[in-house]
Structure 1
Amino acid sequence: MSTPGSSSGPDYGQPYPGAQPSQPYGYGGQPMPNAPVHAQYATPQGPVGTVRPTGIAILLFVVTLGFYSWYYVYVTHEEMKKHSGEGIGGVLALVLAVFVGLASPYLHSHEVGNLYDRRGQAKPVSAMTGLWVFPGMFILVGPIVWFVKSNGALNDYWRSLGAQG
């Protein structure tokens, strides 16, 4: 057993000789390797999307008899894919919205939540938010609640990156 300052062996709790003081040490006094950066926390490299006011989007949905929803699905999924490099993109999202419409709200909320998750933030919406559409449609206001929550979260994300609107 050595005493502090003696040369007969390493002192426990002391830095490894020749190492930098701020570097953490692992088992046996060996420097610990730097932890790899996890891909989900990588900074998105793509362009920032457009803020779409929720009230105007709902109005356009009503005025166009629902056709605006297809445009909205295409454009928002395309923006999210270009921004993050992940997701299904606009074309596949549109095909799913047209032919398997019930899956679209779950997928949309999931991808919006993933934008936050990639930055290491809590997801304000997730696939579970889609439950406001189905079975939430039976209380009549469910789809509106879903859209307000999902579109609001997407708009907040774009604003946090400097988008105006």
Structure 2
Amino acid sequence: MTNPAYPSPPPPAPAAPGPTGPPGTPRGIGVSILLAIVTLGIYTYVWTWKTHAEIKNHSGIGVGGPLGFVIYFVVSPVTFFLLPSEVNQMVSRAGRPSRVSGMTGLWILLPIAGPIVWFVKVQGQLNEYWRASGATG
């Protein structure tokens, strides 16, 4: 019999589900920057679509490729905060420390070097996570 003055504790919250799909593809940071320059920015749309899709397919977190692409196309500054936030959630859910968060998007405010620093940080964290999850490349 339980004492009404001391109610039983609530049941523990279920653990967050782990990865659900295959890991994404590690991408060369220098090659990606070069492709963005050579294609006059078109590759950034491809990269955004693929990255959002890989995060969604692997972890179930995020907006996914098509919506990520639309967000980048319509209001690109949002992507600079959204994408590192999704990466942070995915990495943290796996119990690993993350070097990026939504605040990483503030790098975009620094002219010229800011977007490069942002990309190096985000893609670097992704490459590390994908390789630790079993991706090759």
Give yes or no for TM over 0.5. Answer: yes
Task: Show CA shifts across 1:120-148 (max 9, x none).
Answer: 22221001001111x122xx211111100
Which aligned segments of 4 or more residues in structure 1 are displaced greater than 6 angstroms?
none
Matched, 1:86 2:86: no
- Tell me which protein shows more helix as a share of its residues: 2
Structure 2 unaligned residues grouped into runs of 5+: 1-8
Matches for 1:94-105 after TM superposition, within 5 Å: 94-105=69-80
Matched, 1:38 2:15: yes
- Higher Cα radius of gyration: 1
Bigger relative contact order, structure 1 or 2, given CA contacts below 8 A and separation 6+? Answer: 2
Q: Could you tell me whether the CA contact under 8 Å between 2:61 and 2:89 is conserved in 1? A: no
Structure 1 unaligned residues grouped into runs of 5+: 1-31
TM-score with structure 2 setting the length: 0.88
Matches for 1:127-142 after TM superposition, within 5 Å: 127-133=102-108, 135-137=109-111, 140-142=112-114
Q: Name the amino acid aligned to 1:105.
A: F
- Give SS of 1:105's match: helix
Q: Distance in 2 between matches of 1:126 and 1:36?
A: 25
2:44 to 50, 64, 69: 69
Q: Shift of residue 58 of structure 1?
A: 0.2
- Give SS of 1:79's match: helix
Q: Distance in 1 between matches of 2:51 and 2:68?
A: 9
Q: Could you tell me whether the CA contact under 8 Å between 2:36 and 2:43 is conserved in 1? A: yes
Q: Name the amino acid aligned to 2:125.
A: A
What's the C-alpha RMSD, in Å, of the aligned pairs?
1.6
Q: Distance in 2 between matches of 1:121 and 1:163?
A: 16
Q: Name the amino acid aligned to 1:161.
A: S
Matched residue pairs, number?
129
Q: Distance in 2 between matches of 1:35 and 1:100?
A: 40
Q: Which shows bigger deviation, 63-72 or 119-128? A: 119-128
